[in-house]
Chain A
Amino acid sequence: MFPSKSVANPDLEVTSSRRTVEGRQVDEAVASIFHTVLFHRSLGKFKYKQEGSYSVGTVGYEDVDCDFIDFTYVCCSSDNLDRNLKREISEFSEALRGNDGPGSGQISLEFFQKKKNRWPFQPECIPWEVWTVRLELIKLNNEHERQKCREKVGDMLTEKILYIAEVMNRHEYVPKMPNQSELDLIFDTSYPDVQPYLFKVR
């Protein structure tokens, strides 16, 4: 399992050998990485006053204990955000773990900004940061192996959280703060409690 990050240009994507997890750990492993990224990439809700001035709300956070991995991660306190992310991840997980599943695969969290296009064309989506997790499934034979794997995947995720913190604190490109009229081109304003940068999971 390896989350790699690329900015706009796919050539920058870091690749690494695939990491292994057990089937039922897939959802939690991916969620812990994506939620940590989204926690960093979500702001409080913008409330516009007149004359272009706005106030920013406050982001709450909560601890999540994993069931199948010895690991706790932090995510934004937003049920809707969690629900949407979990749904996307479980679609991936089911496809990966299905009977005729490939046994390995990758899932990406892509941040993008929209660029208005001439009518009647849809706005163009320009990715500015992509996080990719590659996974390879393994079969475990007994409880002992399972316990070992719980710890091993936890250690692996620890490394990834440290990596995410490192990248976030390099303060690389993030889109400029938009005007009120262009807010939807940069942020996902559909959530009532948080305002993440526009993202999609694929």
Chain B
Amino acid sequence: MATVKLSIQDKKDLDKFTKFLALKAAQIIVQSRLGEKVQTKCKPHSSGTDWFNLAIRDLPEVLAEAKRALCGEVVTARLPLCVEISLRTVEGDTMMLETWCLGVLPEQCDPSVRVTYTVYNRMGILLKSLVSVTRVTPAYKLSRLQGPDSYVICYRIYMGEPQLHNLGEGYNQVRVGQLCTPVGTLHLSVSYRTKLTISPQSTCRDNSIMLKSDHFHPDLSPRHLRYQQSEDNSASLSDTIKVGAFADSCRQPQSPLEPDLEMPNVPFSSLLTPRQQSPPQPSEPSVATGGGTETDDDGNGNVTPHCDSRRSSCSVVSGHEDFIMVDLKTPFAGGNTNSELGAFYLECQSAPQLKTFSEQPTLAEQVGDITKTLEAFETSMQEYDEMLNSLCLSDNNN
């Protein structure tokens, strides 16, 4: 063997650096998809959390999720690490947008490279490239336009080979960068969807289909996979939403949030619940709405996510729930005509009830009525027979 034996200290350092490379990469990717502009300050003195001399904020929820996926110290042996970004519409349709993958090629190693200096600095450059590249894939623009009324961006972090079959036809793969270490070449790449049209055929109603289709994949077994998914903070994301044609444009800005709280505190908290240890279960619709309710409750004081998208612009919701009457402010029209039309429509919509239905007799009365009617019919039987006979006779005559 020509390879120089790595000192124990170097090996320990390398593992530590790789672990933090993976943790910081996950932070960069997820933070770039929150729909907000990122800004971190330069610091004259690096502190303990400022790895690679790059000011990357640590979101506790993302950190917990990434650590859970990494699960232990010896990261290099367990790579690849994947961060999957997907989109979920208010209707519950899901579309996987991209998968970022940090992997290692053990066969391409450079035993001569200095771990503490060269590898560490190159990891810093790789993360800078990641910061730059996360802004140019199609999912970035989508994430900036997300909102509780349209769609939210979700993420999940897992170990194992990237699952790319949900990226649709003709997905692109781009290399972000790589660096040689004494134990192999670390490489970071992204595969992203190029066909962004959402259609019922190409999407799954929920994640259950996506995950079950790969039921026997070893990486999806409970032992290997730590599955979690969360909504982003819809409250802090709504600043950039485009307002729809009939949507209420004077929606309250989400000002109550303090600048320091702009990170998704509440939505990501669902990551910390104990069910994370469970295998990839079909995500229940209630989980999704539950997340939304939490968010709304936090930001807007609303309770149900459905009302959130329709609030205040809907003046009447009919009994059938599927029809919403929008109180249109018609230009140039007098206020009265508008309300008259509305009143007329309302009358049609909710016509007065028939007396028959409002004055329902009791069961005893009804039974009594039936007996009486039957008796009346029996007594008049002779009459009916005669009428029938007369009809038959008249038929014969014709």
Chain A interface (Cβ within 8 Å of chain B)? 36, 39-40, 43-45, 47, 55-63, 65, 70-74, 76-78, 157-158, 161-162, 164-166, 168-169, 171, 193-194
Whether A158 and B136, one on each chain, are in contact in the complex, defined by CB atoms closer than 8 angstroms, is yes
Whether, in the assembled complex, B68 has its beta carbon less than 8 Å from a beta carbon of chain A, the answer is no
Known contacts A39-B128, A166-B175, A169-B126; is-contact A55 B45 (Cβ 8 Å): yes
Whether, in the assembled complex, B133 has its beta carbon less than 8 Å from a beta carbon of chain A, the answer is yes
- A contacts with B: majority SS: mixed
Contacts of B135 in A (CB 8 A): 63, 72-74, 161
Contacts of A39 in B (CB 8 A): 128, 131-132
Whether A60 and B43, one on each chain, are in contact in the complex, defined by CB atoms closer than 8 angstroms, is yes
Whether B178 and A169, one on each chain, are in contact in the complex, defined by CB atoms closer than 8 angstroms, is yes
Whether A60 and B132, one on each chain, are in contact in the complex, defined by CB atoms closer than 8 angstroms, is no
Known contacts A77-B39, A169-B129, A193-B42; is-contact A60 B179 (Cβ 8 Å): no
A134, B324: Cα distance in complex, Å = 56
Whether B38 and A58, one on each chain, are in contact in the complex, defined by CB atoms closer than 8 angstroms, is no
Starting from the known contacts A58-B43, A193-B42, 11 additional A-B residue pairs (CB-CB under 8 Å) come to A39-B131, A40-B128, A57-B45, A59-B53, A59-B54, A60-B40, A61-B39, A72-B135, A72-B140, A74-B132, A157-B136
Tell me the minimal C-beta distance from B259 to chain A in angstroms.
14
Q: What residue of chain B has the Cβ atom nearest to residue A166's Cβ?
A: B175
Contacts of A65 in B (CB 8 A): 37
* 8 A Cβ contacts from B307-333 to A: none
Whether B40 and A62, one on each chain, are in contact in the complex, defined by CB atoms closer than 8 angstroms, is yes
* 8 A Cβ contacts from B92-112 to A: none
Contacts of B175 in A (CB 8 A): 166
* 8 A Cβ contacts from B40-70 to A: 40-47, 50, 53-55
Whether A77 and B42, one on each chain, are in contact in the complex, defined by CB atoms closer than 8 angstroms, is yes
Q: What residue of chain A has the Cβ atom nearest to residue B187's Cβ?
A: A169
Whether, in the assembled complex, B215 has its beta carbon less than 8 Å from a beta carbon of chain A, the answer is no
* 8 A Cβ contacts from B117-137 to A: 122, 125-126, 128-129, 131-133, 135-136
Whether B44 and A70, one on each chain, are in contact in the complex, defined by CB atoms closer than 8 angstroms, is no
Whether A161 and B133, one on each chain, are in contact in the complex, defined by CB atoms closer than 8 angstroms, is yes
Whether A62 and B133, one on each chain, are in contact in the complex, defined by CB atoms closer than 8 angstroms, is no
A191, B47: Cα distance in complex, Å = 20
A63, B132: Cα distance in complex, Å = 9
Whether B53 and A171, one on each chain, are in contact in the complex, defined by CB atoms closer than 8 angstroms, is no
A-B contact pairs, 9 of them (CB 8 A): A36-B132, A44-B43, A45-B44, A55-B45, A62-B40, A63-B135, A168-B129, A169-B125, A169-B178
Instruction: Identify A77's interface contact among B41, B46, B50, CB under 8 A.
Output: B41
Q: What residue of chain A has the Cβ atom nearest to residue B55's Cβ?
A: A60
Contacts of B128 in A (CB 8 A): 39-40, 61, 168
A45, B43: Cα distance in complex, Å = 8
A134, B296: Cα distance in complex, Å = 49
Q: What residue of chain A has the Cβ atom nearest to residue B138's Cβ?
A: A158
Tell me the minimal C-beta distance from B185 to chain A in angstroms.
11
Instruction: Identify B132's interface contact among A57, A73, A171, CB under 8 A.
Output: A73
The 7 closest A-B pairs by CB, nearest first: A169-B177, A193-B42, A165-B129, A62-B39, A63-B37, A60-B55, A60-B40
Contacts of A194 in B (CB 8 A): 42
A166, B125: Cα distance in complex, Å = 11
A56, B47: Cα distance in complex, Å = 10
Whether B141 and A70, one on each chain, are in contact in the complex, defined by CB atoms closer than 8 angstroms, is yes
Instruction: Identify B136's interface contact among A44, A47, A161, A168, CB under 8 A.
Output: A161
Whether A40 and B55, one on each chain, are in contact in the complex, defined by CB atoms closer than 8 angstroms, is no
A21, B129: Cα distance in complex, Å = 25
A193, B144: Cα distance in complex, Å = 29
Tell me the minimal C-beta distance from A20 to chain B in angstroms.
20
Contacts of A76 in B (CB 8 A): 42
Contacts of B144 in A (CB 8 A): 72
Contacts of B141 in A (CB 8 A): 70
Whether, in the assembled complex, B176 has its beta carbon less than 8 Å from a beta carbon of chain A, the answer is yes
A13, B140: Cα distance in complex, Å = 32
Contacts of A59 in B (CB 8 A): 42, 53-55
